[in-house]
Amino acid sequence: MATPALTPDILVRAYAAGIFPMAESAEDPNIFWVDPERRGIIPLDQFHVPRRLRRTVRSNAFTIRCDTAFEQVIRGCASPAADRQRTWINEEIIMLYHALFERGLAHSVEAWRDGELVGGLYGVSLNAVFFGESMFSFRRDASKVALVHLVARLIKGGYTLLDTQFVTDHLESFGAIEIPRADYRQRLNAALEQPASFQPLLAADPVDVVLQANTQTS
Protein backbone atom coordinates (compact mmCIF):
# COMPACT_ATOMS: atom_id res chain seq x y z
CA MET A 1 0.00 0.00 0.00
CA ALA A 2 1.36 3.41 -0.94
CA THR A 3 1.96 5.76 1.95
CA PRO A 4 0.54 9.23 2.40
CA ALA A 5 2.99 12.08 2.18
CA LEU A 6 5.95 11.23 4.38
CA THR A 7 7.73 13.54 6.76
CA PRO A 8 11.03 13.04 8.59
CA ASP A 9 9.11 12.62 11.87
CA ILE A 10 6.96 9.83 10.42
CA LEU A 11 10.11 8.19 9.07
CA VAL A 12 11.76 8.20 12.50
CA ARG A 13 8.67 6.69 14.14
CA ALA A 14 8.51 4.02 11.44
CA TYR A 15 12.13 2.97 12.02
CA ALA A 16 11.51 2.83 15.77
CA ALA A 17 8.54 0.53 15.07
CA GLY A 18 10.64 -1.77 12.87
CA ILE A 19 9.43 -0.81 9.40
CA PHE A 20 11.10 1.08 6.58
CA PRO A 21 10.05 2.65 3.25
CA MET A 22 10.93 1.67 -0.31
CA ALA A 23 9.88 2.59 -3.83
CA GLU A 24 9.43 0.21 -6.73
CA SER A 25 12.02 2.14 -8.71
CA ALA A 26 13.80 5.47 -8.86
CA GLU A 27 11.21 6.61 -11.42
CA ASP A 28 8.18 5.62 -9.32
CA PRO A 29 7.10 8.44 -6.97
CA ASN A 30 5.10 6.08 -4.72
CA ILE A 31 6.57 4.76 -1.49
CA PHE A 32 5.41 1.73 0.50
CA TRP A 33 6.26 0.29 3.91
CA VAL A 34 8.27 -2.91 4.31
CA ASP A 35 8.14 -5.17 7.38
CA PRO A 36 9.98 -8.41 6.51
CA GLU A 37 9.04 -11.64 8.26
CA ARG A 38 12.78 -12.36 8.53
CA ARG A 39 15.12 -9.44 9.09
CA GLY A 40 18.76 -9.14 8.13
CA ILE A 41 21.26 -8.03 10.75
CA ILE A 42 25.03 -8.16 11.21
CA PRO A 43 25.90 -9.07 14.81
CA LEU A 44 28.62 -6.56 15.58
CA ASP A 45 30.58 -9.02 17.71
CA GLN A 46 30.59 -11.53 14.84
CA PHE A 47 31.48 -9.21 11.98
CA HIS A 48 33.89 -10.98 9.65
CA VAL A 49 36.50 -9.28 7.47
CA PRO A 50 37.83 -11.57 4.71
CA ARG A 51 41.62 -11.83 4.66
CA ARG A 52 42.09 -10.16 1.28
CA LEU A 53 39.87 -7.26 2.35
CA ARG A 54 41.90 -6.82 5.54
CA ARG A 55 44.94 -6.16 3.38
CA THR A 56 42.99 -3.66 1.28
CA VAL A 57 41.75 -1.80 4.35
CA ARG A 58 45.24 -1.57 5.79
CA SER A 59 46.75 -0.48 2.49
CA ASN A 60 44.90 2.83 2.79
CA ALA A 61 43.88 2.55 -0.87
CA PHE A 62 40.92 4.78 0.00
CA THR A 63 40.57 7.86 2.14
CA ILE A 64 37.58 7.35 4.43
CA ARG A 65 35.42 10.27 5.48
CA CYS A 66 32.07 10.51 7.25
CA ASP A 67 29.21 12.91 6.62
CA THR A 68 31.07 15.14 4.15
CA ALA A 69 29.10 14.18 1.03
CA PHE A 70 25.84 12.65 2.20
CA GLU A 71 23.76 13.61 -0.82
CA GLN A 72 26.46 12.42 -3.20
CA VAL A 73 26.49 9.07 -1.43
CA ILE A 74 22.74 8.56 -1.58
CA ARG A 75 22.71 9.56 -5.25
CA GLY A 76 25.57 7.14 -5.85
CA CYS A 77 23.42 4.43 -4.26
CA ALA A 78 20.52 5.47 -6.52
CA SER A 79 22.55 5.29 -9.71
CA PRO A 80 22.40 2.17 -11.93
CA ALA A 81 25.36 -0.19 -11.87
CA ALA A 82 26.49 -3.20 -13.88
CA ASP A 83 24.86 -5.59 -11.42
CA ARG A 84 21.93 -3.30 -10.62
CA GLN A 85 20.14 -1.66 -13.51
CA ARG A 86 17.30 -0.35 -11.34
CA THR A 87 17.25 0.99 -7.79
CA TRP A 88 14.51 1.79 -5.32
CA ILE A 89 15.77 5.24 -4.29
CA ASN A 90 13.58 7.98 -5.74
CA GLU A 91 13.74 11.75 -5.28
CA GLU A 92 11.38 11.80 -2.30
CA ILE A 93 13.54 9.27 -0.49
CA ILE A 94 16.63 11.36 -1.22
CA MET A 95 14.88 14.45 0.18
CA LEU A 96 13.63 12.65 3.30
CA TYR A 97 16.95 11.08 4.22
CA HIS A 98 18.78 14.32 3.61
CA ALA A 99 16.42 15.90 6.12
CA LEU A 100 17.34 13.18 8.62
CA PHE A 101 21.00 13.85 7.89
CA GLU A 102 20.53 17.52 8.70
CA ARG A 103 19.04 16.46 12.05
CA GLY A 104 22.03 14.25 12.78
CA LEU A 105 19.93 11.08 12.42
CA ALA A 106 21.51 9.80 9.20
CA HIS A 107 25.15 9.31 8.33
CA SER A 108 27.35 8.48 5.38
CA VAL A 109 30.68 6.65 5.27
CA GLU A 110 32.57 7.64 2.13
CA ALA A 111 35.48 6.09 0.25
CA TRP A 112 37.56 8.65 -1.67
CA ARG A 113 40.45 8.18 -4.07
CA ASP A 114 42.42 11.01 -5.65
CA GLY A 115 39.79 13.50 -4.52
CA GLU A 116 36.92 11.56 -6.10
CA LEU A 117 34.07 9.85 -4.26
CA VAL A 118 34.27 6.24 -5.46
CA GLY A 119 32.06 4.38 -3.00
CA GLY A 120 30.23 4.49 0.28
CA LEU A 121 27.11 3.78 2.25
CA TYR A 122 24.48 5.58 4.29
CA GLY A 123 21.99 4.74 6.99
CA VAL A 124 19.80 5.95 9.84
CA SER A 125 20.95 6.14 13.45
CA LEU A 126 18.57 5.97 16.42
CA ASN A 127 20.15 5.50 19.83
CA ALA A 128 22.13 2.21 19.68
CA VAL A 129 20.65 1.05 16.34
CA PHE A 130 22.12 1.74 12.92
CA PHE A 131 19.81 0.95 10.02
CA GLY A 132 22.00 0.38 6.98
CA GLU A 133 20.17 1.56 3.88
CA SER A 134 22.30 1.15 0.78
CA MET A 135 25.86 1.16 -0.54
CA PHE A 136 27.58 1.73 -3.86
CA SER A 137 30.99 1.24 -5.40
CA PHE A 138 32.63 2.75 -8.46
CA ARG A 139 35.96 1.08 -7.61
CA ARG A 140 36.61 -2.47 -6.49
CA ASP A 141 36.17 -2.92 -2.73
CA ALA A 142 35.25 0.73 -2.09
CA SER A 143 31.90 -0.06 -0.46
CA LYS A 144 33.36 -3.05 1.39
CA VAL A 145 36.05 -0.88 2.95
CA ALA A 146 33.37 1.66 3.90
CA LEU A 147 31.41 -1.12 5.63
CA VAL A 148 34.45 -2.15 7.68
CA HIS A 149 34.90 1.45 8.77
CA LEU A 150 31.20 1.74 9.60
CA VAL A 151 31.26 -1.32 11.84
CA ALA A 152 34.39 -0.09 13.63
CA ARG A 153 32.70 3.23 14.32
CA LEU A 154 29.55 1.54 15.58
CA ILE A 155 31.55 -0.67 17.94
CA LYS A 156 33.50 2.32 19.25
CA GLY A 157 30.30 4.32 19.64
CA GLY A 158 28.47 1.71 21.70
CA TYR A 159 25.92 0.51 19.14
CA THR A 160 24.33 -2.89 19.73
CA LEU A 161 22.32 -3.50 16.54
CA LEU A 162 23.25 -3.16 12.86
CA ASP A 163 20.14 -3.68 10.75
CA THR A 164 20.77 -4.64 7.10
CA GLN A 165 17.05 -5.14 6.29
CA PHE A 166 17.77 -8.13 4.05
CA VAL A 167 20.65 -10.59 3.66
CA THR A 168 22.52 -10.83 0.37
CA ASP A 169 25.43 -13.09 -0.54
CA HIS A 170 27.61 -9.99 -0.28
CA LEU A 171 26.49 -9.22 3.28
CA GLU A 172 26.54 -12.88 4.30
CA SER A 173 30.28 -12.94 3.67
CA PHE A 174 30.61 -10.36 6.47
CA GLY A 175 28.52 -12.37 8.93
CA ALA A 176 25.00 -11.16 8.16
CA ILE A 177 22.20 -13.43 9.37
CA GLU A 178 18.42 -13.52 9.19
CA ILE A 179 16.31 -13.53 12.35
CA PRO A 180 12.53 -13.79 12.83
CA ARG A 181 10.54 -10.59 13.06
CA ALA A 182 9.70 -11.13 16.74
CA ASP A 183 13.38 -11.61 17.62
CA TYR A 184 14.29 -8.50 15.64
CA ARG A 185 11.67 -6.42 17.46
CA GLN A 186 13.05 -7.51 20.83
CA ARG A 187 16.59 -6.55 19.80
CA LEU A 188 15.36 -3.28 18.32
CA ASN A 189 13.44 -2.25 21.43
CA ALA A 190 16.40 -3.07 23.65
CA ALA A 191 18.82 -1.11 21.46
CA LEU A 192 16.50 1.89 21.33
CA GLU A 193 16.80 2.09 25.13
CA GLN A 194 20.59 2.30 24.97
CA PRO A 195 22.68 5.42 24.28
CA ALA A 196 25.28 5.41 21.51
CA SER A 197 27.27 7.95 19.55
CA PHE A 198 28.27 7.75 15.89
CA GLN A 199 32.06 8.12 15.65
CA PRO A 200 33.02 10.16 12.56
CA LEU A 201 36.71 9.94 13.46
CA LEU A 202 38.53 6.71 14.22
CA ALA A 203 42.08 6.76 15.56
CA ALA A 204 42.57 2.99 15.61
CA ASP A 205 42.90 0.65 12.65
CA PRO A 206 39.29 -0.37 11.80
CA VAL A 207 40.27 -4.01 11.36
CA ASP A 208 41.89 -4.01 14.80
CA VAL A 209 38.72 -2.54 16.32
CA VAL A 210 36.65 -5.34 14.79
CA LEU A 211 39.09 -8.06 15.82
CA GLN A 212 39.28 -6.69 19.36
CA ALA A 213 35.49 -6.75 19.63
CA ASN A 214 35.45 -10.40 18.51
CA THR A 215 38.17 -11.30 21.03
CA GLN A 216 36.33 -9.66 23.91
CA THR A 217 33.12 -11.57 23.18
CA SER A 218 34.62 -14.94 22.30
Q: What is the mean predicted confidence (pLDDT) over 169-189?
A: 96
Return d(Cα 13, Cα 95) in angstroms, integer.
17
97-134 pLDDT per residue, tens: 999 999 999 999 999 999 999 999 999 999 999 999 99
Sequence-ordered list of residues with C-beta below 8 angstroms from that of 18, at least 6 positions apart, any chain: 35, 39, 181, 184, 185, 188
Residue 3: per-residue pLDDT: 44
Sign (positive or negative) of CA dihedral 17, 147, 52, 205? negative
> Quick one: pLDDT band at residue 80, thresholds 50, 70, 90?
confident
Sign (positive or negative) of CA dihedral 169, 209, 113, 132? positive
DSSP 44: G
121 DSSP β-pair partners? 109, 135
126-159 pLDDT per residue, tens: 999 999 999 999 999 999 999 999 999 999 999 9
Q: Is residue 215 classed exposed, middle or buried when 0-12, 13-18 and 19+ CB atoms within 10 A define those classes?
A: exposed
pTM for the model stands at 0.93
